[in-house]
Amino acid sequence: MEIGNHYYLKGNVVTDKTIYRNMFIEIKGGKIVFAGKKREEERRELPCYQAEGWICPGFIDTHIHGINGFDFMMGTKEGFYRIQDGLPSFGVTGFLSTSRTASLDDIKTFLLLNKQVAKEERTGAHLLGVHLEGPWVNPKYKGAQKAEYMTVPAIKDVEALVNEAAGILRIITLAPEILGNEVIQFLHDKKVAVSAGHTDASFEDIQKAVPFGLSRITHCFNAMGPISHRDLTAAFAALYLQHLQCEIIADGFHVNSKMIELLYRIKGADHLTLISDCTGTNQLPDGCHHIGGKMVYKKDGKVALENGKLAGSSLTLDKAFQFAVQHCGIPMEDAVQMASFNPASVCGVNDRKGRIAIGYDADLVILSNELEVENTIILGKFVF
């Protein structure tokens, strides 16, 4: 849609865990320069786009491996661009490209590609950094990750990889019981968010790691010990330790909707982040596919290995948002916080993204009353 560089949006706005009815948002030069109620006669004569549904901050996906048959670790700019350009159709305006467990050489290639793309100006979703999922995780809970690349590193190996990332590393998923708190402290000091995932950590392991910088749980309840009333695991720590930020794959396969609702009741919206964990299978038909270096089987939206273990998801963030609202008892305004501001915070951009407020980037998604993506705006431009 061509509407110019300076215009208004009008409609019902959802931001900061609040719904604001009949609001104006003035956008100029890619920024929000006014947000509030304003009488028609006080407005300058500018184009005005009327939204019939909901105007929200753009969604940010902090755990995504790919979409539409492409994977970030394919190692090509063309594949990367296809993902970047496709994400706005799902309401996503920013993302962390996410690796999988692989050789250190392959991970370094992945980091190099991200550094190259980060320097480019493109019209697709913003690359906000990198999420390394592995290789320092526990083979006991490998999921669909490759156990042969799971290692116990020396601190110098961690330092080398962080230096290779050159400031674009935002999150690293690791098994704290394997790496130890010295590594967690190092990563925290480098301003990398440390997340426990693919882990056999006990509650005590998690509790001891928190003062050193552990702050997150990767795809909560998945790839970790189950909740038990006797043996307390990382899953219990996610519920018990209020301040831990928990990723949730809200597709009905990875976590039962009632468990998501319980997690929300205990943690509240400020400590939950909706993710897709999409492996690129979202648009693929049911059947067998080779993607991410492995054979996976898709049926009715569920993606699994031959042995039946889940292998990432075919979820997109707009569908995770819809599921959270429609099946998990989460109010829309809280789900928006979980899909926009919370992920913006871990990416270090919550001072300019993740809210609808004066001075913030005009990264927005317009949803229908049925919560379907109608338009996506990035830096003031309608890109979908």
Mark whether 363 is an active-site residue.
no
Neighbours of 228 (CB within 10 A): 10
Task: Give the up-direction half-sphere exposure of residue 103: CA atoms within 13 A in the CB hemisphere.
Answer: 4
Q: Are 145 and 134 contacting, i.e. CB atoms less than 8 angstroms apart?
A: yes
**Residue 49 phi, psi dihedral angles, 5° rounding:** -100, 120
Q: Partners of 196 in the beta sheet? A: 174, 217
CB-count burial class (<10 Å; 0-12, 13-18, 19+) for 160: middle
Q: Partners of 60 in the beta sheet? A: 94
Distances (CA, A) of 19 to 2, 11, 26, 261: 27, 11, 18, 21
Q: Distance between the two ends of the chain, CA-based, in angstroms?
A: 8
The one catalytic residue among 277, 334, 361, 363? 277
**Residue 130 phi, psi dihedral angles, 5° rounding:** -125, 145
List active site positions: 277
